[in-house]
Structure 1
Amino acid sequence: MASSFSKQSFNKAFTTVANSIYLMLMAGWLTLLCALPLTICLMTRVPIMYYPTYAGALALSAPAFAALFAIFRDQPTFNSRDAQLRIKLTEDHAKDPNFPPDWIAAPYVPSDRPTAIFKPFFRAYAKLFLRALAVGFSCCLAIFAFGYDLQLSQQFQWGAALVPVLLVAMAIFLQAYFVGLVIVVEYPKAKWWSVMKSAVLLSVRRWVALLIALVVMVGFFWGVMWSPILVLLLGTGMVFYIEYAAARWQAQILFAQMAAESGDKRIRDMYSVGADAKSSRRGRGGSSFWRGGTDVMQ
């Protein structure tokens, strides 16, 4: 009997690992396909000095990353704690048509499909397309503007003093790009201005995640310059899973506040918010970082 139990455990572990590798590779390849402008820039090793090209390609690729983050959010094979909680609560309240509420995205991946990837990815891509583009173009426009200022500052003797400030600003908006997409994936009805404001502020909060994400992205870019085909085909899914995890951890501050303001125990449980959590609103004007949950939605 012990031998049978050990065999079952081994088979389950092997299947989970095999499915995870398959899904990670497929997710990366689908992202490369749908983020074709950025893929072309990386494959052809466009020099970083042509930053407007990268900014434009990154903006056009925003829907692909949003779809990728939707898969990471709900795919049960990845065994993320968020996905497990969401699946359990959705199943427990399957007869309630009002749960989850319409301001929280329903699961993008069916809970009984441990290898589902193609249909959920393209469904999320189509659903999030316009909102993801709005976030992508907004952040990339800011990155381009700071990059242009950085280029202009080199014409002056005092320009060197501005380099660190402009680089930090570019890094913050690059992370805001990913945090904003995480918010769009979670809240499909969120207002553009609220998403952008929260994305920028959350990119600064929990700054350790910003540093980790930057190190990972710099390493990914260096790897692509070394061997673009190998790194893109094998590393895209894993690299952007790390980026998603960092952005999600930063956005969790907003998710927890929204859950606390909802007054619904099920939503609190979904985001692991304790019953004693309270809204941090200051009067009717809202908190120091964003106004209340209902103000974020259209």
Structure 2
Amino acid sequence: MSARTSHDSTSSPRWKAFFPIVDAVYVMLALSVCVLTGCAPLLVVCFLPFPVAETYPWLCVALALSAPGIAAAFAIYRDHPVLRPSHFAGVESGVGKSSSSSGEGVPEWVAAPYVEADAGVAVFRPFFAAYAKLWKRSLALSAASGMLLFVLSYDARLLAQVSWGVYAMALACAIGVIALMALMTSLELAVEFPKAKFSALLRNGLLLAVFKLPITLGLAVVVGIYVWGVAHYPLPVLMLMTGLVGYLIWVGARSQSKELRKACAI
């Protein structure tokens, strides 16, 4: 009897260290469902049985309509207690206390937490609450980016008809990648700074995407691999990897805006 008690007491900390990983995996899988729900217009257009040459205008519109879902996911990544390093460190060290942000000492222009500190592993309700708060600003940002992507796509289609157009098409593709990554950075800034001016969000998103070009290219590679995976293994990649890829994009966008947030004394 004493040996059994001793075994349980020694194995208990190992199980406690395992629980945060299980929580994080569940939250990521749940976020995959949330992001796919928020990006339903983009999914519908991507899986339409039509060539890209005919669907690219609808792709731009669908991207604009899906941006609020991406912004809401960024809000969950930012504030969910299960995804914080303290969640893992606290349980492993036996402290049992989560270092939740109480909002004390945070400037008034910075967004309050979108997820309550005692949310546990709840994802769906915080996601749609963040969606309701962020949809107007994120839709406006994505509309501007969608217009630029449409113009670039239209020009690329025209340039494809001339012999020297391949060089201009390469330039248009490069600008399009920067514009897409600038949108991700602008959405991250919109999550952080809900009172920022629309023009400031667009300008800073574009400048950060350009001046932090290595991060922009890295995020483009991540998105490219994800798109390739969806094209070849749609169901498993969409359900298992969407939350993780969204997290990587958020981390990259947050890294780009790190110095800006420091300048704002966050």
When normalised by structure 1's length, the TM-score is 0.78
Q: Does 1:233 align with 2:239?
A: yes
2 and 179 in structure 1: CA distance in 2 versus 1, 3 angstrom threshold: farther
Give the aligned partner of residue 193 of structure 1: 199
184 and 80 in structure 1: CA distance in 2 versus 1, 3 angstrom threshold: farther
Q: Does 1:33 align with 2:37?
A: yes
Q: How many residue pairs are counted as aligned between the two chains?
A: 251
Q: Does 1:62 align with 2:72?
A: no
Indicate if the aligned counterparts of 1:42 and 1:224 stay in contact, CA closer than 8 A: no
> Residue type of the partner of 2:257?
A
> Residue type of the partner of 1:128?
L
Q: Does 1:52 align with 2:57?
A: yes
C-alpha deviation, 1:6, in angstroms: 4.8
Q: Does 1:19 align with 2:23?
A: yes
C-alpha deviation, 1:101, in angstroms: 3.1
Q: Does 1:203 align with 2:209?
A: yes
111 and 46 in structure 1: CA distance in 2 versus 1, 3 angstrom threshold: farther
Give the aligned partner of residue 184 of structure 1: 190
Q: Secondary structure at the residue paired with 2:116?
A: coil
* Greater length-normalized contact order (CA 8 Å, ≥ 6 residues apart): 2
1:1-298 equivalences under 5 Å are: 6-44=10-48, 47-49=51-53, 50-80=55-85, 88=99, 90-91=101-102, 93=104, 99-259=105-265, 267=266
14 and 45 in structure 1: CA distance in 2 versus 1, 3 angstrom threshold: farther
Identical aligned pairs, as a percentage?
Answer: 35
Unaligned runs of 5+ in 2: 90-97
Indicate if the aligned counterparts of 1:20 and 1:77 stay in contact, CA closer than 8 A: yes
180 and 45 in structure 1: CA distance in 2 versus 1, 3 angstrom threshold: farther
C-alpha deviation, 1:92, in angstroms: 8.2
Give a deviation string over 1:11-48, Cα, whole Å, max 9, x none.
22221111111100111101111221012233446544
> Residue type of the partner of 1:176?
A
> Residue type of the partner of 1:78?
L
Give the aligned partner of residue 95 of structure 2: none
- Structure 1 segments of 4+ aligned residues over 3 angstroms from their partners: 1-6, 42-49, 87-93
Structure 1 stretch displaced more, 181-190 or 138-147: 138-147
